[in-house]
Amino acid sequence: MRKRRFPILEYDRSTAAIIEPRHFVSKIANWERCIICFFKDVVEKVANNTGAQKIFEDRGVYGTNPFYRMEYKGCPIVFFFPLIGASVSAAFLELAIGLGGRKFIACGSAGVLDKSIPRGEFVVPSAAVRDEGTSYHYLEPSREIDVNKKVIKAITTVFESHRESYRTGKVWTTDGLFRETVSKIALRKKEGCVAVEMEAAALLAVAQFRKVKLGYILTGGDDVSGEEWDTRGENLRLPTKERLFWLSMEACLKL
C-alpha cells in the first residue's frame, strides 16, 4: 500500500484481515435468508410471538444481542437487531454472513429530504451516497454505491402486489448525526437524495465485498429537508414498523 493524502482513501485490496468473522461464529446449516431489522421492539415482539429459535447471541460491552430463526411460509429466515450506525451494523452483517446468510433485506427508518414523503411511507433505496467511513474499508473510494437492480425489483414487486405506496431513490448515508447542515442537505438534495440514514452504504459495501445479496427498505420519519428540523410530532407507530418487517420477509423470499 502507499500513503494517500487522507487515510480514508487508503483502500487495501487484500481479502484477508487479522480479525475475521470466523473467529466468532461458525456456519449454521439449512438457512440463507435474513432480515436486518433496525426496530428492536419489532424484533423482540416477533421473536416472542412466533417462538423463534435463538441461534446465536453476540456478547459485547453493550450487552447481548440475539439472532433468531423462524419458519416463514415454509422457509427458514434469520432476523436480528444490528444496533444503530454504520460500523456496528456492518459488523453484525459480517457475523450473519459467517453464520450462513446469503440473501438479506435490511429495514429501518430515515429522515426525509423531500417533504412530500409522508411519515410512514416506504422508500426503496436505489443507491447510497457514501458519506460515512465503514464502506471505504470494503470497496475502493467512490461517491455512491448502487443497489442490485434485481433486488430492487424483488422488493417493489412485493409492494405492488400489496398495493403499498412507495418511492425509489438515492439515500444519503452519514455517520454525523449532528452534522446534517443546511448546506450539506442542499447538496445531497441536488444530487438526487430523497432520504438520509446512517447504515445503507456500509451494509451495501459489506454485501458487495462478501458477494451476497442485500436490499434495503426504509420508512419515512422526521423531515430535515428545510432550514429547521421538523420532528413531525411523533415516533413511527409499531403497526407501521411491523408492516415493514413482514413486507421485508416477503421480499427476502424472492431473492
**pLDDT given at position 235:** 72
Structural fold of domain 25-253: Rossmann fold (3.40.50)
Mean pLDDT of all residues belonging to the chain: 95
Residue 4, classed as helix, strand or coil, is coil
Strand ranges for 74-116 from DSSP E: 75-80, 103-112
Q: How confident is the model at residue 60 (pLDDT cuts 50, 70, 90)?
A: confident
Say which residue, 234 or 209, is predicted with more confidence: 209
**pLDDT given at position 86:** 96
**pLDDT given at position 24:** 93
Q: Where are the domains of the chain?
A: 25-253
pLDDT at 71 over 80: yes
Say which residue, 197 or 240, is predicted with more confidence: 197
pLDDT digit string (tens) for 90-148? 999 999 999 999 999 999 999 999 999 999 999 999 999 999 999 999 999 999 999 99
pLDDT digit string (tens) for 34-51? 999 999 999 999 999 999
The distance from CA 177 to its chain's CA centroid, rounded to whole angstroms, is: 16
**pLDDT given at position 157:** 97
Which of 16-25's residues contact partners 24+ apart within 8 Å by CB, and which partners? 21/94, 21/95, 21/97, 21/98, 22/98, 24/58, 24/95, 24/98, 25/56, 25/95, 25/98, 25/99
Strand ranges for 114-233 from DSSP E: 122-131, 144-146, 166-174, 193-197, 213-223
Q: How confident is the model at residue 61 (pLDDT cuts 50, 70, 90)?
A: confident
DSSP letter, residue 10: -
pLDDT at 189 over 90: yes
